[in-house]
Structures are given as C-alpha cells and as structure tokens.
Amino acid sequence: MRIKPLTGAFGAEVTEIDLRSGLSGKQIRAIETAFSEHVVLVFRDQDFDIDSFEVFAQSLGHFGDTPFITPVEGHPNVVRVLRERDEEGPLFGSGWHSDWSFQTKPPSATLLYAVEVPDEGGDTAYTNQYLAFETLSDSMQKLLDGLSAVHTAERSYGPGGTFGRPDPDSSMNIRGDESAVVRQAHPLVRTHPVTGRKALYVNEVYTVAIENMTSAESSALLKFLFEHSRQIGLTCRVRWRPGTLTMWDNRVTQHFAINDYSGSRREMYRITLAGEKPN
C-alpha cells in the first residue's frame, strides 16, 4: 500500500492495494492510521460490486442510518447517488456540509464509490475543519469552545425544503417529511475521539443557529465561520474516475459536490459508517 498526499494540507491517494481481496488485520489498521492522519483517502482502481463494497465498509465499522433517501433494493445501507444526462433539478450533495450533522449521532465516515463519471467535471471538494479551528485566533477559539450550534434538515428535507417533495424527474427517490424539522444541538467545537484534536463543527447546509445568542449575533458569527472554513488553503479536491473509492471523516471535514457536468451521467454508490454523539 502506497500513500501519496493530495495537497500540503490534507488528503491522500492510496494505491497498490485491492480492497476486495480480503484484507488482513494489519492492512485494516494501516488504513485506519492513514485515515486518522489524512482525513480524506482516495483509493484508485478498485472493482467493487455492491456486495463487496458492503463487506469492505463493514471491515471499518458499523453502517450508519441514512434518512429520506430510498436505498438500493436489497441493500438497505447503500444509496445510489445518480444523476442522468438530462436532469436539471437540484444536485444531491451540493453546498458545503457534513453528512447528516442533524442526527443525534452523525456518521463518522462516508464511503463513495464511482461507477460512472463524466469525462470532465463532477469533482468533490473537501475542507479540513481541524485546520479551520486551528487557524483561528486564540481569542476566537476560546469564544467558540463551549458553545453549541443547532443543526436541522429542515431546509433540505423539510416540507418546504430543497428535496422536501418527491420529484418525478429525479433519478434518486428522495422523500422529505416532517421529521426533518427536528433540531439537534452539537458542540460548535468537537474533539475527535481518536486523535484528540479539536475541529469546528458547523456547516452552511444544516447549521441554523448558535444556542444562547440573539439571531443577529448567531447569524453574523456563523457567516464568518462558514466563510473561514472554506478558504482555499484549507481545501482539497478529488477528481473521480470509474473504480475510485473515496472515504472521508465527517467529524472533521465538510464536502461539496460540484455541479459542472450538465449533459453527462454520474453514478456512485454511497455508504455511511455509524458515529458517536459529538463532544
């Protein structure tokens, strides 16, 4: 297994390993170590079907809970992320976000496997929230540490949200409902359970307020944090090709699906791994 950093900040490309071949305990530990260090891992030239993709995911942890999206038939923990050539509706995964941060126990990691991708476009961008926190001033770090932010799926999957109503023209069966309006508070700065490092834990898709602040105070501070978190020096970008598997740590990253491939088809398989309550 060879590891090559994607950028000077974070992310790594992993080659010379076959994830379908039945990994040894030593190989799993090596992947986990690399994941802790690099946060985003890109495995090239893999040959998964859905069954083998599930087996690999389970070697790293338990499946997470995926609401609102109808999974692949017979595979309740796998979502097909699909966009056909002629689709024009909102793109699933657009906007800077951490997957399902509105859950009580959001996923620890997401695994996304490329089946068919455009010749150009369709990249995914990531931003490192360890670095987002660490590049703040000491005074700002002290202000934020101990605050809680409010997360909800309402703007995405609530009755009036982006995906709140079934879209007969969408390739994905996404069904929002009233459960999306529930609000969940998490620490604005969370501590990673493995590394012990602190990271910002807010995102512009699901974070709507900061507890115990006025609306004006909360909005202004969140706007600053969102802009700070996505500055170019904190990011990396993954160029997909068929057979690429990318996994990222949702506890310390945000990601953004780039919508620049109109007229092309893109099909991926997606699995999330269960996480813990942020603290």
Contacts of 164 (CB under 8 A, 6+ apart): 156, 157, 158, 176, 180
Active site residue 270: yes
What pLDDT, on a 0 to 100 scale, did the predictor assign at position 274? 98
Q: How does DSSP assign the chain, residue by residue?
A: -EEEESSSSS-EEEES--TTS---HHHHHHHHHHHHHHSEEEE-S----HHHHHHHHHTT-PBPP--SB--BTTBTT-EEEEE-TT--SPPTT-SSB-TTTTSSS--SEEEEEEEE--SS---EEEEEHHHHHHTS-HHHHHHHTT-EEEEESHHHHSTTSTTSS--TT-SS-B---GGGG-EEEEESEEE-TTT--EEE---TTTEEEETTS-HHHHHHHHHHHHHHHT-GGGEEEE---TT-EEEEETTSEEEEE----TTS-EEEEEEEE------
Q: Which listed residue (99, 155, 251, 266) is catalytic?
A: 99
Q: Which listed residue (80, 186, 190, 270) is catalytic?
A: 270
Strand-pair category, 12-15 with 40-43 = parallel
What pLDDT, on a 0 to 100 scale, did the predictor assign at position 61? 97
Structure token digits, residue 107: 């996923």
Q: Are 78 and 271 in contact (CB under 8 A)?
A: yes
Distance CA(188)–CA(109), nearest Å, equals: 19
Structure token digits, residue 90: 């909102």
What pLDDT, on a 0 to 100 scale, did the predictor assign at position 146? 93
Low-confidence ranges of the chain (pLDDT < 50): none
Active site residue 99: yes
CATH superfamily of 2-273: Clavaminate synthase-like (3.60.130.10)
Active site residue 192: no
Distance CA(84)–CA(49), nearest Å, equals: 20
Active site residue 138: no
Distance CA(243)–CA(196), nearest Å, equals: 33
Q: Let me know how long the chain is.
A: 279
What pLDDT, on a 0 to 100 scale, did the predictor assign at position 168? 87
Using only C-alpha atoms, the chain has a radius of gyration, in whole angstroms, of 18
Q: Which listed residue (38, 83, 186, 255) is catalytic?
A: 255
Residue type, 71: P
What pLDDT, on a 0 to 100 scale, did the predictor assign at position 197? 98
Output the pTM of the full model.
0.96
Q: Which listed residue (80, 97, 151, 251) is catalytic?
A: 97
